[in-house]
Amino acid sequence: MKIDLRASLRAHNTFGFDVSAQYLAYLQNKSDVVEFISKAQSEKEPWQVFGGGSNLVLAKDLSGYTALMQIKGKSLLKETSTHFYIEAMAGESWHEFVEWSLNNGYPGLENLALIPGTVGAAPIQNIGAYGLELEEVFESLEAFDRLTQEFVTLNKSDCKFSYRHSVFKDEPNRYVVVSVCFVLPKQWQAKLSYAELEKAFAHQHSLKPIDIFHRVCEIRRDKLPDPQVIGNAGSFFHNPVVTNELYQQLKQQFPQLVAYPSGQQWKLAAGWLIDQCGFKGYKVGRVGVYEKQALVLVNHGGGTGEELLQLAEQIKKKVKEIFKVSLTVEPVIFN
Ligand SMILES: Cc1cc2nc3c(=O)[nH]c(=O)nc-3n(C[C@H](O)[C@H](O)[C@H](O)COP(=O)(O)OP(=O)(O)OC[C@H]3O[C@@H](n4cnc5c(N)ncnc54)[C@H](O)[C@@H]3O)c2cc1C
């Protein structure tokens, strides 16, 4: 296993924050995972495993061991009369895996096209977009369990998925995911619950998965900044889920409030709340709020994680003051 000393993480986080890792390891097979964790533990050093760094705020240099997940491989594991079971190793690019699944005739992931990052990180926050969440197509995953010091298989109920959440967030640094298996029905059905997709395809006959894939990519390219051009981690805050009572109060006070039913509760559009506080396009020093989408915080170049977290606090405070709603941060913070 290759380990670099005092390595820059600038190219390994999509905000482009220029922090370093004391030791940076590259995990290319399952034995590297075991070696990495036993090395960190025997030296009593902290450790963490990253994928593409697209859901991180790195606000300081990282001490101890950091690893980049780079285990590759994807395949059709098995098929039944009704379903395909496809698997990808944790270091595969999520978007390339989605493309591969479509090109090989295993549709069902197209709504999740163009989400940055790796396959291994996808279950961590139960990625979701455009009417589909990972848990709906998830079968199982294999992970190294730090507590038992062995590889284990976790099924859907073990993972305790919920909105942008899972057991991996409750127990950080317990598991290192090495592969994920997805189950996709052979009888494909378009998922068009997201309004823009429904509008685009409402009257289209013989709709194909690839049509949805291309439309999702177009919408995303239009709405979200490309991290290669402007540093960001996608949505910076969760959409807050509130009781029906609070929703009714807010709706009365702010008739334009954007919200969606979520079981017995309501999910408020965090971007709308932030926009109403006047933050869209706001800049403070080298960081700011994206001009086209208030939910996305950006590094205009040369900014730091600390500056970004200060801005996030300012936004949270204002939203709380005006709407009495607490925002929670989506990316994982190292500060
Ligand atoms: C432009 C943009 C758009 C985005 N859009 C969406 C979206 O639509 N929906 C959505 O849900 N997310 C979105 N995201 C967030 C992000 O892409 C996802 O959360 C993605 O799954 C993170 O993958 P990653 O490999 O970059 O993880 P990282 O950022 O490297 O890591 C995130 C967390 O996962 C842990 N982790 C990573 N790999 C492993 C592993 N193998 N085993 C155990 N833990 C691991 C890390 O320790 C860290 O805690 C977006 C981000 C950007 C920049």
What's the mean per-residue pLDDT of the chain?
A: 97
Helix (H) or strand (E) holding 274: helix 270-276
User: Same domain, yes or no, for 35 and 104?
Assistant: no
Ramachandran bin of 203, using left for φ above 0, alpha for ψ from -120 to 50, beta for the remaining angles = alpha
Full residue range of the structural domain in which residue 60 is found: 3-69
Query: Rounded to the nearest whole angstrom, what is the distance from the C-alpha of residue 32 to the centroid of ligand 1?
Result: 21
CATH number, domain with residue 320: 3.90.78.10
d(Cα 233, Cα 14) in Å, to the nearest integer? 6
User: Same domain, yes or no, for 35 and 49?
Assistant: yes
Query: Rounded to the nearest whole angstrom, what is the distance from the C-alpha of residue 206 to the centroid of ligand 1?
Result: 33
110, 142, 164, 307: the catalytic one is 164
Q: Is the pLDDT of residue 188 over 90?
A: yes
User: Same domain, yes or no, for 29 and 98?
Assistant: no
Q: Which two tokens stand for residue 212?
A: 């949805």
Mean pLDDT over residues 193-204, rounded? Answer: 89
Does residue 117's CB lie within 6 angstroms of at least one atom of ligand 1?
yes
Percent over 70 (pLDDT), the chain:
100
Based on the residue annotation, tell me whether 93 is a catalytic residue of this protein: no
Q: Is the pLDDT of residue 14 over 90?
A: yes
CATH number, domain with residue 12: 3.30.43.10
SS3 assignment, position 90: coil
Does residue 124's CB lie within 6 angstroms of at least one atom of ligand 1?
yes
Residue ending a domain, among 48, 69, 90, is 69
Q: Is the pLDDT of residue 205 over 90?
A: no
Give the number of domains in the chain: 3
User: Same domain, yes or no, for 24 and 99?
Assistant: no
Based on the residue annotation, tell me whether 164 is a catalytic residue of this protein: yes
Task: Write the pLDDT tens digit of every residue in 46-95.
Answer: 999 999 999 999 999 999 999 999 999 999 999 999 999 999 999 999 99
Taken in order 5, 11, 12, 14, the sign of the CA dihedral is: positive
Q: Is the pLDDT of residue 203 over 90?
A: no
Confidence grade of residue 204 (pLDDT, cut at 50, 70, 90): confident
- Is the whole model's pTM more than 0.85, yes or no? yes
Query: Rounded to the nearest whole angstrom, what is the distance from the C-alpha of residue 211 to the centroid of ligand 1?
Result: 25
- pLDDT number for residue 148: 95
Residue ending a domain, among 223, 257, 281, is 223
User: Same domain, yes or no, for 64 and 191?
Assistant: no
The closest residue, in CA terms, to atom 17 on ligand 1 is 116
User: Same domain, yes or no, for 55 and 191?
Assistant: no
User: Same domain, yes or no, for 139 and 160?
Assistant: yes
Q: Which two tokens stand for residue 218?
A: 């177009």
User: Same domain, yes or no, for 198 and 96?
Assistant: yes
Residue ending a domain, among 23, 47, 69, is 69
User: Same domain, yes or no, for 20 and 156?
Assistant: no
User: Same domain, yes or no, for 219 and 81?
Assistant: yes
Confidence grade of residue 314 (pLDDT, cut at 50, 70, 90): very high
Task: Write the pLDDT tens digit of every residue in 102-125.
Answer: 999 999 999 999 999 999 999 999
- pLDDT number for residue 321: 97
The string of DSSP letters for 157-205 reads HHHT-BTTB-HHHHSTTTEEEEEEEEEEESS------SHHHHHHHTT-S
User: Same domain, yes or no, for 199 and 248?
Assistant: no
CATH number, domain with residue 179: 3.30.465.10
User: Same domain, yes or no, for 274 and 187?
Assistant: no
For the chain, state the CA radius of gyration: 20
- pLDDT number for residue 30: 98
- pLDDT number for residue 109: 98
Based on the residue annotation, tell me whether 286 is a catalytic residue of this protein: no
Confidence grade of residue 202 (pLDDT, cut at 50, 70, 90): confident
d(Cα 195, Cα 294) in Å, to the nearest integer? 19
Mean pLDDT over residues 289-311, rounded? Answer: 97
